[in-house]
Amino acid sequence: MFESQRATTPRVPVEERLFSLVLALLASEQGLTKSEILSTVQGYRQKFVRGGDNTSLERQFERDKDDVRELGIPLETVEPPGETGNNQLLRYRIPKGEYDLPAEVVFSPAEIAVLSLAGAVWREGSMSDESQRALHKLRSLGVESSDPLIGYAPRLRTRESAFGPLNSAMDRRLEVSFDYLKPGAEHARRRRVAPLALVQHEGRWHVHGIDRDAEAPRTFLLSRILGAVVTTRRSFTEDNAGCAERALADLRALYEGQCALLEVRANTEAERRLVTRALERAEVPLRVHYTDVNVFADELAGYGPEVRVIEPAALRDAVIERLRRTLANHGPQERAAREETR
């Protein structure tokens, strides 16, 4: 009976699991132990076996911690006094003061009204049975919630349709195939990959795995996957321990090694977005790190005349090429040709 119930438990999407983890850690001022998290938080609780082997669930939690920190959320680890080195008693928490909006971020009265209305709707509609059970379980463990945030359970989704199939294939340890448009290429190429880790860097999701054609590790940007991800019946045996950490380290190294010098118009959308990523906010021109020259060029071209790339030349050329292509597709001659065909 117990096994049957577990088999029919609906799978919790990774985005919802991460969100539930963040809310639980925000709701507890003193933090939670790993056992408390795995046995109570939505997304872990369903797989937790009390008194049994939870090794795979603990590995999942370790990956989730990295994802949360990669999102810029200050997840802290606290050792209890006199228990140095005892990992079972470590407590995890998110200091609410460090998670608050920066002091310089302010809202108009109209914006505050809209946010308050949205918050009210959220509170009314998002309290789920799962959240209530998690809250009761934490209280039964002696963990008092200092904030009702733990009861919120909205469902989040990633933009990339490839995320779900890749995550499912990774959990089932099955190879996948997909069409991937490599930066600078005109046509996509079919890839066969053993997915080992899904990581987020600079707000974008990547899948890290073994490219079967090259028989070497590769990291693919999900937004460059065209069409559907096909899960094959071929299983893989490669160990994914530490893969997420290595993939993120490689992406960070690439990010730190590439810096653009940008001239940005004041009081524009480009300034509002780019200044938050600049090495020095008050610096003119702005210096901004980036990971993928083509992805960054797409973004910069979208700002039009609001931003000009000073260097590097490769990024500047990529932006100019995109602007010229836009002009060719939407310039006066193209518009006139479209009018004639109507």
Domain formed by 163-240, architecture: Roll (2.30)
* Phi, psi dihedral angles at 288 (to 5 degrees): -130, 130
Residue-level pLDDT, tens digit, the chain, 342 residues: 334 444 445 567 777 788 888 888 887 777 888 888 888 888 888 888 888 888 888 888 888 888 888 777 888 888 766 656 566 678 888 886 666 666 666 666 666 666 655 555 444 444 444 454 555 545 544 545 544 444 443 443 445 788 889 988 998 999 999 999 987 777 899 999 999 998 888 778 899 999 999 889 999 999 899 999 999 999 999 988 888 888 888 999 999 999 999 999 988 888 888 988 888 877 889 999 999 898 899 889 989 899 999 999 999 999 999 888 888 876 565 555 555 555
Domain boundaries, the chain: 2-151, 163-240, 257-332
Q: According to the model, what pLDDT value does residue 30 have? A: 78
* DSSP letter (8 states) at residue 188: -
Q: According to the model, what pLDDT value does residue 21 have? A: 87
Range 69-72 contact pairs with CB under 8 angstroms and sequence separation of 24 or more: 70/199, 70/200, 70/201, 70/248, 71/200
Kindly report, residue by residue over 243-291, the tens digit of the pLDDT.
888 888 899 999 999 999 999 998 888 888 898 888 887 788 999 999 9
Q: According to the model, what pLDDT value does residue 104 have? A: 63
Specify which residues 289 forms β-bridges with: 259
Q: Which residue has the tokens 């993120």?
A: 248
Spatial distance between the Cα atoms of 25 and 94, rounded to a whole number of angstroms: 6
Residue pair 271/306 in contact by the 8 Å Cβ criterion: yes
Spatial distance between the Cα atoms of 55 and 39, rounded to a whole number of angstroms: 13
Kindly report, residue by residue over 282-320, the tens digit of the pLDDT.
788 999 999 989 889 988 998 989 999 999 999 999 999
Spatial distance between the Cα atoms of 149 and 152, rounded to a whole number of angstroms: 6
168 HSE (CA, 13 A, CB side): 13
320-326-328 Cα angle (round to 5)? 100
Q: Give the pTM.
A: 0.51
Nearest Cα to 239, choosing from 58, 88, 56, 95? 56
